[in-house]
Structure 1
Amino acid sequence: MPSLLIRLVLAEVTRWYAAGVALFLALQLTDALSSTVANLITYKPALSTAAGAFLSLAPSFLNRSLVLAVPFAILLALARMQSDNELKAISAGGVPPLRLVWPIALPFLLVAAITYANANQFAPQGMARWWNTWYGVYNMTPPPPEQLRYTYAPPGALYYAGKVITPPGSDEAQLQGVMVQRGQTILTASTGTWNTRTRTWTLLAPWETRPGQPPRALTGPVTVPQTDRLRPAIIEVEQTTTSVLRARAADPGLPGTDRREAAFTVAQRTADPVTPIIFALAAGALGLLLRNRAAAFGAVLVFLVGFYALWTTMPGLARAGAVQPDLAAWTPNIAFLILAAALAWRLR
């Protein structure tokens, strides 16, 4: 294929791509502003604080825009070329239209590299700064990390806490909704503490239950040994770096839901950066079949809505264990890769 032809096609796609990135960035910024403008007016933060908060969302906004702009740019660029009979001229010159797809897709390898770096490092850090900034705007201290439904079952015993609250820099965690079963004795309490240095649990004013005896209230605190380690509290996956999520996914002491969610997010942060390339292949093949810009705009909507439906459905299925986390993360890309192959077969 002549290099001049490749440059001309890429120049057309690049112009539309820049416009698409700007469009999707503006839409996301408008959405973020509309959801927070009331709080900005109420609490009147400094301009630098508000600007810093929105700047922390830039990696996440950029990732979405870089991906969503791919089908937008390719479909509209090819539709324009189709309506001006440029694709017919290229075909008449002896270049099969399908050969245009690969040159269009290759530059998006750079987009994939940028989105990978953003998704795995910068976007999680940005989301954490976003939430911490708003606690400052509200003049509140960020709540200490907490873990829900903690369970530990060594031989002959069972330890349960509905909530474990870990203040930063403290050797002692707060327990809520506590139950300890050791042998035939069951202790329950509304609150307690976990001392990580002495590896003990202290139940405050617990109730004691023994077989064949009615429960009785104990007047003072009761301390029992607890040999499990205090794990880092579960932080929202969108605020957690990939290295931490990998450790979370491999931790057998965590609930299955948390492990599966972490494993899915790790896989998704690899799968999502590949999406621009898959989009380029599928949109390139689809764009060669379109005849006008109206059809291209409709195809963009169908394209993005179809992908979004899969992309938003898979996390819930992965957390529930209905689909393996890795398969769930890659399903949208697999579906659109199959679409690209079907369209390419149609164009052959």
Structure 2
Amino acid sequence: MSPLDRYLWREVGAAVLGGLAVIVLAFIGGYLYEVLAPLLQRGADPWVVAQYLAFRVPDALVRGLPIAMLFALLLVLSRMGEESELKAFLAGGISPLRVLFPLLLLAAVLFISGVLIGESIAPKATQSGQSLLRQAVFQKPRALLAPGSTFTDAYGRILYVGQADEGGIGGVRVITAEEILLSERAHFEGGQLVLEGGSRVTYAGSRPRTVARFERGTVPLVELAQDAPGGLSALTLAELHSRIRQYRQSGLPYHAELTAYYRKWAEPAAAFAFTVFAVGLSFFLLGGSRNLGMVGVVVLTFFYYATWSVGRIMGEAGALPPLLAAWGPGTLYAVAGAVLLGVGRR
């Protein structure tokens, strides 16, 4: 490795580590604010919440790696442009492509790291965090269940909780296509939700067929799955592929699963697109004696995060083709970077 390569790796690598620490903390803060803060307000155990946040760090690390790469490249190359280092490279016969090559190698390291963590540590940690929340629901349901919570029980039935307060659990609905169980009072007992009397309504098409009363009913919760954050990120590529195949054979929609499958590759691969974009932009601005500045760095980094979030939502909803939703944001930066490199060379 040449002195130039070592210099670029050292400067960009240090900025990647610093940016990654900030971005991971931002993701963890988002999990806390959106999901876990309401649980703390309702009396959840802070130690359980802290453990869950720790389990989400690997997933935040995978998501944060490409964003940290973009931030670091823009920051370092912008500084090098301001301090005339890039001009010195050009004066010494070092082309933009010569600067690009070692940075692409660094992007390859981040890509491989992201894929490996995303396929090994992150899914297991996310699953452990979800399991932790499920156990917390069993142990302290009134604190962790909010009115309107929806679950899936061991039989695949939809379980709706209408009330969860100091008075107990109530307004429970157990729903399938053929019947609904209605109970105004319920409690957790031995891994099961016990319905304290209610009604069973069966349907023929859209019309009620029979109505019967019952004194006691049980809903098995051994496989209870609460919709915790990071649902599909807890699956590996093989698990996502298997689920997509099953849904396709059953005629069920699989937009969310296919989007998540493509994103498993597209998110780490975005590091390559960011490298091309950052190098192209830095040398392009050099021609007009302009510099990006910290505000520009933050804006361009946030723009990727915004398109990344919108693409995910639209892909999961089926509003965008999953392939475009996953690969679109990174491709946009790669194309822009290639154009800037071409203009800069001229």
- Would you call these one fold, judging by a TM-score over 0.5? yes
Query: Structure 1 residue 244: deviation in Å?
Result: 2.2
What TM-score does the superposition give when structure 1 sets the normalisation length?
0.69
Deviation track 1:43-66 (CA, whole Å, cap 9, x = no partner) reads 47374x454322201111212332
Aligned counterpart, 1:159:
none
1:295 maps to 292
C-alpha separation between the residues in 1 aligned to 2:38 and 2:212?
50
Deviations, residues 96-147 of structure 1 (Å, cap 9, x unaligned): 2342112112112111111112333432332332233234445247986359
User: Which SS does the other structure have where 2:292 is aligned?
Assistant: helix
Tell me whether 1:329 sits opposite 2:326 in the alignment. Answer: yes
Paired amino acid for 1:237? L
Q: Distance in 1 between matches of 2:71 and 2:331?
A: 20
Paired residue type of 1:310:
T
Whether the 8 Å contact between 1:264 and 1:315 is mirrored in structure 2 is yes
Q: Give the structure 2 partner of residue 186 of structure 1.
A: none
CA separation in 2, counterparts of 1:93 and 1:267? 42
- The aligned amino acid for 1:308 is Y
Q: Contact (CA 8 Å) 1:176, 1:190: kept in 2 or not?
A: yes
Contact 1:79 1:290 in 2 (8 A): no
* SS of equivalent to 2:94: coil
1:115 paired residue number: 114
1:79 lines up with 2:78 in the alignment: yes
Alpha carbons 1:76, 1:293 under 8 Å: kept: no
Q: Corresponding residue for 1:268? A: 263
Q: CA deviation at 1:309?
A: 2.9
SS of the equivalent of 1:190 reads strand
Secondary structure (helix, strand or coil) at the match of 1:107 reads helix
Which of 1 and 2 has greater Rg?
1
Rounded to whole Å, the distance in 1 between the matches of 2:337 and 2:255 is 30
Is residue 285 from structure 1 mapped to residue 292 from structure 2 by the alignment?
no
- For structure 1, the residue ranges without an aligned partner over 5 or more in a row are 151-162, 166-173, 180-188, 193-203, 221-231
Q: Which amino acid aligns with 1:190?
A: I
Aligned to 1:288, what secondary structure does the other structure show?
A: helix
Matches of 1:261 and 1:102 in 2, distance apart?
35
Instruction: State how far apart, in whole Å, the 1-side matches of 2:65 and 2:204 are.
Output: 59
Given the alignment of the two structures, is residue 347 of structure 1 paired with residue 344 of structure 2, yes or no? Answer: yes
Partner Cα distance (1:145, 1:128) in 2: 16
Could you say if the C-alpha distance between residues 135 and 88 of structure 1 is closer, same or farther in structure 2, counting changes exceeding 3 Å?
same
How far the C-alpha of 1:219 sits from its partner, in A, is: 7.5
Give the distance between the partners of 1:6 and 1:240, measured in 2 at CA: 37
Alpha-carbon separation, structure 2, partners of 1:51 and 1:293:
45
Aligned: 1:241 with 2:236: yes
Q: What is the identity, as a one-letter code, of the residue corresponding to 2:283? A: L
TM (normalized to structure 2)?
0.70
Percent identical? 23
Backbone CA RMSD of aligned residues: 3.8
Asked if 1:45 corresponds to 2:45, the answer is: yes
Equivalent runs, 1:188-227 vs 2, <5 Å: 189-191=179-181, 206=202, 217=210
The one-character-per-residue Cα deviations of 1:162-220 (angstroms, maximum 9, x if unpaired) are x456xxxxxxxx972434xxxxxxxxx4359xxxxxxxxxxx664669xxxx9865889
2: distance between equivalents of 1:216 and 1:97? Answer: 74
Q: In 1, distance between residues paired with 2:313 and 2:43?
A: 35
Shift of 1:249: 1.0
Residue aligning to 2:96: 97
Q: Confirm whether residue 19 of structure 1 aligns to residue 42 of structure 2.
A: no
Q: Aligned partners of 1:217, 1:34: CA distance in 2, in Å?
A: 45
Question: 2:125 corresponds to which residue?
Answer: 126
Distance 1:249 1:147, change over 3 A: farther
Encode CA deviations 1:242-261: one digit per residue, 9 max, x unaligned.
Answer: 3222122112355643x121
1-structure distance, mates of 2:46, 2:65: 30
What is the distance in 2 between the residues matched to 1:318 and 1:25?
24
Contact 2:67–2:305 (CA<8 Å) still a contact in 1?
no
Distance 1:131 1:309, change over 3 A: same
Cα distance 1:38–1:330, how it changes in 2: closer, same or farther (>3 A)?
closer
The one-letter code matched in structure 2 to 1:83 is: E
